[in-house]
Chains A and B, each alone.
Chain A
Amino acid sequence: GQQVMQIPQYQHVQEGEDFTTYCNSSTTLSNIQWYKQRPGGHPVFLIQLVKSGEVKKQKRLTFQFGEAKKNSSLHITATQTTDVGTYFCAGRGLWSSASKIIFGSGTRLSIRP
């Protein structure tokens, strides 16, 4: 079945450093979404990428969707303490049930002030 893997599992950075998390799917995706979960909270939608090679930016966050639509990345420039949390990618398979959304295992970001 469809699997979505995320690396790294944990990342601890100094405030102001950059951060990147990578997402890889075992199958081609129709689209990919990114969510952020603050400690003790619930996941909150950040963005969706649909097109091959698509790049989207939200202030200090840059999201990319791979050319083969099997991988994606989230890059945060100059991290701030408000970026603390776990970042999840979620993929919808192209050939499997279009309604089944599979989440990656997440990358937990912690920041040293």
Chain B
Amino acid sequence: NAGVTQTPKFQVLKTGQSMTLQCAQDMNHEYMSWYRQDPGMGLRLIHYSVGAGITDQGEVPNGYNVSRSTTEDFPLRLLSAAPSQTSVYFCASSRTSGAVGNEQFFGPGTRLTVL
């Protein structure tokens, strides 16, 4: 199993550009989530999904869109990049969203810089 994969590893955008961060997992996990990590801010939840076709907002959803058309994939779209979105983005998945089997497995991250 490859686990949770993310592409690209690094990305530089200009203000106003749009792009999609890819996330895939091959563990048949039900739950997937996106976090951003900024110095001193920990991991902040952007969006999450409890299954294909179901998504919901986290703590900091503005400026980001997600969709979950398959169990495996959970792409994160930046609609119009802003310098405030410069961050490291982590995708994570867990077997369930319930009380058992909900430990999250993280991908290696995407380091995004918006100029």
Using a CB–CB distance below 8 Å, which chain A residues touch chain B? 1, 6, 9, 30-31, 33, 35, 42-45, 48, 50, 88, 90, 92, 97-106
Contacts and interface: CB of A to CB of B under 8 A. Distances in A.
Contacts of B45: 100-103
A103 B44 contact: yes
B107 interface: yes
Interface in B36-78: 40-45, 48, 50, 56, 58-59
A99 B104 contact: no
Nearest to B92: A43
Interface stretch (B13-21, B79-87, B95-103): B95-103
Contacts of A98: 97-98
A14 B103 CA distance: 31
Given A1-B59, A33-B103, A45-B103, A6 B42 contact: yes
A27 B58 CA distance: 16
The 5 A-B residue pairs with the shortest CB-CB distance in the complex, in nearest-first order: A105-B42, A103-B43, A42-B106, A45-B103, A99-B97
Given A45-B104, A48-B103, A88 B43 contact: yes
B104 to A, nearest CB: 6
B90 A42 contact: yes
A105 B56 contact: no
B33 A101 contact: yes
B9 to A, nearest CB: 12
B106 A44 contact: yes
A45 B101 CA distance: 12
A104 B37 CA distance: 11
Nearest to A103: B43
B98 to A, nearest CB: 8
Given A31-B102, A42-B108, 11 more contacts: A30-B99, A43-B90, A43-B104, A44-B106, A90-B43, A92-B102, A100-B45, A101-B33, A101-B102, A104-B42, A105-B40
Contacts of A101: 33, 45, 48, 102, 104
B42 A103 contact: yes
B35 A103 contact: yes
